[in-house]
Structures are given as C-alpha cells and as structure tokens.
Amino acid sequence: MRDRVLWMSGGCAALVLALVGCALSAAQVPPPAVDAAPGAKGQAAEAVLAGGCFWGVEAVFERVRGVSGVVSGYAGGRREDASYETVSSGQTGHAESVRITYDPSQVTYGKLLQVFFAVVHDPTQLDRQGPDWGTQYRSAIFYGNEEQKRVAEAYLRQLNAARVFGKPLATKVTPLEAFYPAEEYHQNFIERHPDNSYVMFNDLPKLEQLHKKFPELEGTR
C-alpha cells in the first residue's frame, strides 16, 4: 500500500518507481495447446485471476470482446472477509484479483489466460509486480472447476517447457474458495482516474499492449 500512496502523490518517488513499474514483457506468448470447449451462445462463465494491482488487470479484461463484466476484489486468503486495508497488510493471504464474467462462445478460458500471460503482468515475478510487492500482488489462477484446472496447469507446463519467458513462471494454480469484491472506489479505477501517476506508468501501457498483440480481441469499450 505504501507504493500506491507514493504513486498517488506523484513527485520523484513516483518517477523512480516508474522506471521499474512500466516495463512489460516482450515475450511472444503462444495460445494454449489445451483449451476449454466453446460454450453455447449467450452462456455466462467466470474466471478469477490475480496479476498484481487489480486496477490494470480489470481494465485489460474489460476491453476483451466477449467479456461482459469485470470486478476487482480479493481471493485466496485465510480469512472469511477481506478489505483493502487488511489485504494490504500482507497478513490475510489474499491476492488482489479480478472476477471476469464472459461468454465462452466468443472468448475461451484459454484465450483469457493467453491475455493474462502476454499483457496483464510478468508471471515470472514472485510475490510482486513492478513497484508493488508482497503476497497480495502474486500471480495466481483461481480455478472454479476441473476443466479450468486442467487448462491452466497444461498451459503452465507448455509455457515453462518452451521457456517462453526465459525462466520459470511463478504463477500458482489453486482452487477458488471465495471471492470478495473490493471497495467501490477501486472499481473502474482507470476510467475515473486516467491521469493518476500509477495508472499512467503501470496500467495504460498494458492497454496499449492489448491493442498491439490482440487487436482481434478488442471490444467496443
């Protein structure tokens, strides 16, 4: 949480962190060899992913065609509730996450994971993303059923075997026990604060990468 405050306040501290935070992987991430079967048209499915600060993760997936909603929140913790204050302590075990509601006839679970690895974050960083550090910023896939588990684990094996990122992935695949929506002021943060220093240096470049790497997936937002 300390880093987020520095970014909001701007100044030299934010500029120094920018040099760390705005770097994105140049890796060309292949599509998953194993994927979930496309669903029926209009069917709704959910995916829960954690890739650092949820502001940028939310914004990326909100712009993917076939996604009808994204909620920032917390998953993977030991407590039966979560808030930004408690999660930021790093003591609850939760990770900043997003819950993605999507139409699997338009975008598959595996394609969402490809975007997750190629655009959203650096999956080789352990318990941190850019200027944010701690287990609450870890890379994680929280699967909701056995098919999601199968696709996620197979994809990690594929990417590691091909050494796509040059070193092993830190991403963990774990069952989803619960998801707690974050406070209202965290939802759609980038839309409401596009000039925020943290957003400009850490999140807007992700949207540019989505446009560059996956133009066919971009929705109309």
C-alpha 220: how far from chain center: 20
For the question of residue 53 being annotated catalytic, the response is: yes
Neighbouring C-beta atoms of residue 76, cutoff 10 Å: 25
Residue with tokens 């076939």: 66
Tell me how long the chain is.
221
φ, ψ for residue 52, nearest 5 deg: 95, -160
- Choice among 29, 45, 50, 53 that is catalytic: 53
CA-nearest of 212, 218, 216, 201 to 11 is 201
E-only strand ranges, 28-175 = 45-51, 67-75, 95-102, 128-129, 132-133, 139-143, 172-175
CA-nearest of 74, 65, 69 to 96 is 74
State the pairing for strand pair 139-143/45-51. Answer: antiparallel
Rounded Cα–Cα distance for residues 66 and 45 (Å)? 10
Residue with tokens 């050494």: 163
Q: Which amino acid is at 112?
A: L
Active site residues per annotation: 53
